[in-house]
Amino acid sequence: MSETNALVIGSSSGIGAELVSQLCDSNLYHQVHAISRNEIAVAHPKLHSHEVDSSDEVQIAKICETLRESGPFALVVCCIGMLHLVSNVEQVSPEKRLEDVTANQLEHYFKVNTVAPMMWLKHLPKLLLKSVDTQVVLLSARVASIEDNKLGGWYGYRASKAALNMLIKTSQVEYRRRFKTVQIVSYHPGTVDTGLSKPFQSNVPKDKLFSVDFTVRQLLSLLPTLDINHAPHFIDWDNKSIPW
């Protein structure tokens, strides 16, 4: 068993929870640390759960300082993201036309899909060693591709994920200078049967609606095949490159 650790950010999401489960059951990592706003309902000898609000940079910085004592991390996966939201105080859903775009909705998309993951990229160097190969994976989406955008719509989600991709590319430049063994991956998991995609599944072909088990296994199987010299990577569940 490796003496390195894995970190899953957003571990209470559908993909995040399955990722924690599969990583704990594997022999790849010494410890698995799970970050979530709420405690996750998974028990395992390898698992260490931490309650952190990823919208609060102070909390992110503090937990990274704490985790530094756990030893080096060889895998970090950030599962933070939102596509729609319905609550007692606000409602956010993908825009179908220009008239649907609002400043408040755009701000919400960017806060969750762009700013929060970037704050993790900012503080993760505390957990890294120059002698340890590390992969940092952030969940993105094919609709974040500027070149591939032929359908339009979904302004806030597209833009916030495209901005995340730019931050990933920019961060890789600095990570390469400071940690030559770190590669960042922007990962499109496909349409996965979770709460995030639930309202939009009716038009998805049956063979293109993936289980969380499938998309997590795909991710873990393709990570060892990636060439650090080509990082950052923007790839889908089938290990096919997506144009930025």
Nearest alpha carbon to residue 52 among 63, 42, 41: 63
* Count of CB atoms situated within 10 Å of the CB of 52: 19
Q: Mean pLDDT over all residues of the chain?
A: 91
What is the tens place of the pLDDT at every residue in 198-238? 555 456 556 667 788 999 999 999 999 999 999 999 999 99
pLDDT at 1 over 70: no
For the segment 39-55, what is each residue's pLDDT rounded down to a tens digit? 776 778 899 999 999 99
Contacts 24+ apart (CB under 8 A), 194-203: 194/13, 194/14, 194/15, 195/14, 196/13, 196/14, 196/81, 196/82, 196/83, 196/84, 197/83, 199/84, 199/93, 200/83, 200/94
Mean pLDDT of all residues in 123-143: 95
Mean pLDDT lowest for which of 126-130, 189-193, 207-211, 229-233? 207-211
Contacts of 122 (CB under 8 A, 6+ apart): 57, 60
For each of the domains in the chain, give its residue range(s) and CATH number, in order of start: 5-236 (3.40.50.720)
> Average pLDDT for residues 156-175, to the nearest whole number?
97
- What average pLDDT does this structure show over 1-13? 88
> How distant, in Å, are the alpha carbons of 29, 98, 206, 230, 243 from that of 5?
5, 45, 36, 24, 31
